[in-house]
């Protein structure tokens, strides 16, 4: 009895794993950085009327993790739009010596991708760290244009991409496509906006040496998630829909176990795939 149940569970898990692996391969392959992308027009906050001040409280000093102090935590891999909206992205701050770059990828009823910030470095008053000649001021914004309901929004950070170009690590809101398999973005709903913050260093907390799974170098990451901090304006209705969708469904132990088993097997499969590369 027990063995039959276990066999059935393993079979079901294997099927699920196959599906999950397929989806992951698709999402990882779909996003490519295009070096011919150009910087969209950057609007100052005096032009847009955006107020960055309420969000600066969530930008911590270098190497101090972003705390969840009252804002609503969202899954950064599930930033979807239910309603049409003219989406904007506003630069809040950054605590990174890297010259990071940020891109977006919209898939669904709207399909487009492009650069958000060619150089997401901060310059001037209120910056955690100093910037460079092409750096941004607090609250600077870029318009992504109209994005229709039924579209998934993903964002990717190219770590030190301004200096490293194609050899840079790319970390996405889609954790499964990250080279180290780790989460590199956190998202919170706050004041009808989405706060999105990135970690730009490869590997686990304070991990060093070569990652045997990938051959890539661990970078002694502080996992502070303040290396690029932006705010997404996707509209109040969309933010409320995301918060509503995030309320966890009641679940049984079996499905919890199945999810755990799938991610474990999924991880192993991915690691094996990478080692063979
Ligand atoms: Ca940092
Ligand atoms: Ca960091």
- Report the separation in Å between the CA atom of 225 and the middle of ligand 2, taken as the mean of its atom positions: 5
- Minimum-distance ligand to the CA of 198? 2
DSSP code at position 202: -
- Report the separation in Å between the CA atom of 85 and the middle of ligand 1, taken as the mean of its atom positions: 31
pLDDT number for residue 119: 95
Enter the pTM of the model. Answer: 0.77
Q: How is the chain split into domains, by residue range? A: 1-30+250-277, 35-246
Q: What's CA 117's distance to the chain center, in Å?
A: 14
φ, ψ of residue 38 in degrees (nearest 5): -115, 160
Rg of the chain, C-alpha, whole Å: 19
CA distances from 273 to 12, 16, 215 (A): 22, 18, 12
More confident residue, 181 or 21: 181
Residue whose C-alpha is closest to residue 119's, from 153, 172, 168, 157: 157
- Report the separation in Å between the CA atom of 223 and the middle of ligand 2, taken as the mean of its atom positions: 5
pLDDT digits (tens, 9 = 90+) for 51-108: 999 999 888 666 555 665 557 889 999 999 999 999 999 999 999 889 999 999 999 9
- Report the separation in Å between the CA atom of 241 and the middle of ligand 2, taken as the mean of its atom positions: 30
- Minimum-distance ligand to the CA of 94? 1
- Report the separation in Å between the CA atom of 207 and the middle of ligand 2, taken as the mean of its atom positions: 13
- Report the separation in Å between the CA atom of 84 and the middle of ligand 2, taken as the mean of its atom positions: 34
pLDDT digits (tens, 9 = 90+) for 12-53: 444 444 444 444 444 444 568 999 999 999 999 999 999 999
Residue whose C-alpha is closest to residue 154's, from 52, 27, 267: 27
- Report the separation in Å between the CA atom of 228 and the middle of ligand 2, taken as the mean of its atom positions: 9
φ, ψ of residue 154 in degrees (nearest 5): -120, 150
- Minimum-distance ligand to the CA of 63? 1
- DSSP H helical ranges for 49-131: 53-56
- Report the separation in Å between the CA atom of 222 and the middle of ligand 2, taken as the mean of its atom positions: 5
């Amino acid at each position: 009895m027990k063995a039959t149940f276990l066999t059935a569970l393993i079979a079901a898990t294997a099927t699920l794993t196959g599906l999950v692996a397929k989806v992951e391969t698709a999402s990882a392959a779909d996003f490519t950085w295009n070096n011919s992308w150009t910087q969209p027009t950057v609007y100052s906050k005096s032009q847009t009327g955006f107020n960055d001040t309420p969000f600066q409280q969530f930008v911590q000093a270098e190497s101090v993790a972003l705390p969840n102090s009252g804002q609503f935590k969202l899954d950064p891999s599930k930033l979807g739009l239910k309603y049409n909206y003219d989406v904007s992205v506003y630069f809040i701050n950054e605590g990174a010596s890297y010259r990071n770059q940020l891109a977006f990828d919209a898939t669904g009823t709207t399909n487009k991708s492009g650069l958000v910030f060619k150089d997401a470095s901060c310059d001037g008053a209120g910056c955690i760290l100093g910037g460079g000649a092409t750096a941004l001021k607090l609250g600077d914004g870029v318009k992504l244009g109209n994005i229709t309901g039924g579209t998934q929004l993903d964002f990717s950070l190219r770590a030190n991409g301004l200096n490293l170009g194609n050899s840079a690590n790319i970390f996405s809101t889609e954790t499964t496509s990250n080279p180290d398999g780790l989460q590199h973005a956190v998202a919170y709903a706050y004041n009808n906006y989405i706060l999105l913050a990135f970690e730009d260093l490869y590997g686990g907390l304070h991990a060093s040496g070569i990652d045997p799974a990938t051959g890539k170098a661990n970078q002694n990451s502080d996992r502070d998630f303040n290396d690029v901090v932006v705010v997404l304006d996707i509209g109040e209705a969309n933010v409320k829909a995301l918060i509503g969708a995030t309320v966890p469904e009641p679940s049984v132990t079996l499905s919890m176990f199945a999810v755990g088993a799938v991610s474990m097997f999924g991880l192993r499969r991915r690691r094996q795939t990478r080692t063979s590369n």
